[in-house]
Structure 1
Amino acid sequence: MARDLHSFWEWGRKIVCVGRNYAEHARELGNPVPGAEPLLFLKPVSAYLRPGFAIRPPRYSRRLQPEVELGLVLAKGGSCIPQEEAMDYLGGYALCLDMTARDTQEECKREGHPWTLAKAFDCSCPVSDFIPKDMIPEPHRLTLWLKVNGQLRQQGQTSQMIFPIPYLISYISGIMKLEEGDLVLTGTPAGVSDIQEHDELQAGIDDLITMKFKVESD
């Protein structure tokens, strides 16, 4: 029996993230732009954070950065999904922040280590309410934005994604089975920057949804 996607963060099994899916973001961090295949990493479901709760930086990081992203919520599972069928597996969307411990990530990259400490800590995936699929007839024509204390930091269009949504669903499902309630983060546009304790973050998709979070230490 199908479950209620409006609470996918309560029962979904995994969060799959796409890195460097906007060329200008890759360049601003001095990273190579991906070639033939996307860059993937994972977050645990304990990373979910809902509005009304504070973003808490991990104790080992002094440079926390938010990345605004469009999230894809799967309505049904599948493996090796053909691109031409990929949108049939999609149930809807969510606005997300990929919280990144940037200093930790830079250290991981220097040492050749995975990004787990930088990307997979608790509350590293603030997420909005569920957006049903029929509310976004063209997901590649959205404007994402992020403000910190009212100042615009990030703004970009999903049309700038290097790898479009059907390709991402197909590619990921060829590596691991995608399941009902899974979330896929599709990458962030340029403009990432550090945030501090007590900052207020507001993110949005033009004409669709906004969400707010405060940054607090333990």
Structure 2
Amino acid sequence: MMNALFEIPSIPLVPVRGEAAGYPVHRIFGVGRNYAEHAAEMGYEVDREAPFYFTKPASAIVSSGSEIPYPPGTSNFHYEMELVVAIGAPAFKVSVEEAAKAIYGYAAGLDMTRRDLQLAERAKQRPWSLGKAFEMSAPIGEITKVADFAPIGPQRIWLKVNDEARQDAHLADLVWSVPELISHLSRFYHLVPGDLIFTGTPAGVGPVTSGDRITGEIDGLAPVKITIGAAQ
């Protein structure tokens, strides 16, 4: 077996309720404009023909309760509160009906975004990588196994900054359901255990600055909490 030329970064692990072992993160997929009101606040209508995606590196994962630095290259750092789906079984070209079998569990997560860089890239019809795919940009709470979470629908999803409400919606507002997202993604990727899907954010996104405290919650799931540290 060939040896590595340098030390390999450790695989991030997400805590799982009731388990001593953590969930190892392989890939992170993000879903764009999956709440109609958020799409509208960003100046778009929802594309109801098919969902679309961006990706984040595994190094974006950070545990709830952490302090994350205000990232370099931006002056408009935004929160986006999201339901996260953890894949627990291989899924390739699965139907919507089969997709539920691939779900390991759910978590509350934040898609932290360098909004000014995202918008600048979007204006030039370039990928969103600088705005979305950077270190410590995917804080996540403890995963709850699918059997311990009620069917998705009426659960409230909300976010506060320094105890002030900023986002408030329900999972029933998702344009593309979780099984639809898994089925669609599986047409293009071999989804495997360790893959996370951040399913989109409700309206009310906005900027944060150093010293701000963010708390995001979804009924039935552990909250995700972070503090914004000094700029890098």
TM-score by length of 1: 0.94
Shift of 1:5: 7.7
Q: Partner amino acid for 1:105?
A: Q
Conserved 8 A contact 2:28-2:196: yes
Shift of 1:211: 2.6
Q: Partner amino acid for 1:19?
A: G
Describe the shift of the 1:133–1:5 C-alpha distance in structure 2 as closer, same or farther (beyond 3 A): farther
Q: Partner amino acid for 2:107?
A: A
Structure 2: 5+ residue stretches without partners: 1-13, 17-21
133-142 vs 90-99, which deviates more? 133-142
Q: Equivalent residue of 1:140, what SS?
A: coil
Task: Give the Cα separation in 2 of the matches to 1:161 and 1:129.
Answer: 22
Equivalence for 1:114: 127
Conserved 8 A contact 2:29-2:197: yes
Conserved 8 A contact 1:5-1:181: no
Q: Partner amino acid for 2:179?
A: P
CA RMSD of aligned residues (A): 1.6
Q: Partner amino acid for 2:137?
A: S
TM-score by length of 2: 0.88
Shift of 1:207: 4.4
Q: Equivalent residue of 1:209, what SS?
A: coil
Equivalence for 1:13: 26
Structure 1: 5+ residue stretches without partners: none
Conserved 8 A contact 1:140-1:164: no
- Deviation readout 1:3-46 (Å, 9 max, x if unpaired): x98322xx221001101000000001112321200011101100
Task: Give the Cα separation in 1 of the matches to 2:27 and 2:165.
Answer: 30
Equivalence for 2:61: 48
**Going by fraction, where is helix more abundant, 1 or 2?**
1
Moved over 2 A (4+): 206-209
Query: After superposition, where does 1:56-205 map in structure 2 within 5 Å?
Result: 56-205=69-218
Conserved 8 A contact 1:51-1:211: yes
Task: Give the Cα separation in 2 of the matches to 1:37 and 1:106.
Answer: 22
Residues matched between the structures, number = 214
- Deviation readout 1:149-181 (Å, 9 max, x if unpaired): 000000111101111111100000111111112
Conserved 8 A contact 2:143-2:221: no
Conserved 8 A contact 1:5-1:75: no
Q: Partner amino acid for 2:61?
A: Y
Q: Equivalent residue of 1:175, what SS?
A: coil
